[in-house]
Amino acid sequence: MNQFIEYEENKKTIKTLNLDDFSVEELNLYKSELKDEVKRVELEIYKKKNLMSEAEKFFS
């Protein structure tokens, strides 16, 4: 579970945090969570591109 990332469902955005209040340790943890989120997004993009490619083969 992400400790820092908060999602606004109605806007489909991630809330921006004020980083001034974070310690170095908290910033490193936040950075790690962001890296994990980027990996998750990249995997989703990969899956969607594969689906599009498979659909193109089917309809070609």
Average pLDDT over residues 30-52: 95
Beta carbons of 4 and 31 less than 8 angstroms apart: no
pTM tops 0.75, yes or no: no
CA distances, 46 to each of 18, 29, 37, 42, 50 (Å) = 32, 26, 14, 6, 6
CA distances, 39 to each of 7, 15, 28, 36, 43 (Å) = 17, 19, 17, 5, 6
Average pLDDT over residues 10-27: 88
Neighbouring CB atoms inside 10 A of 4's CB total 17
pLDDT at 51: 94
The domains of the chain are located at 7-59
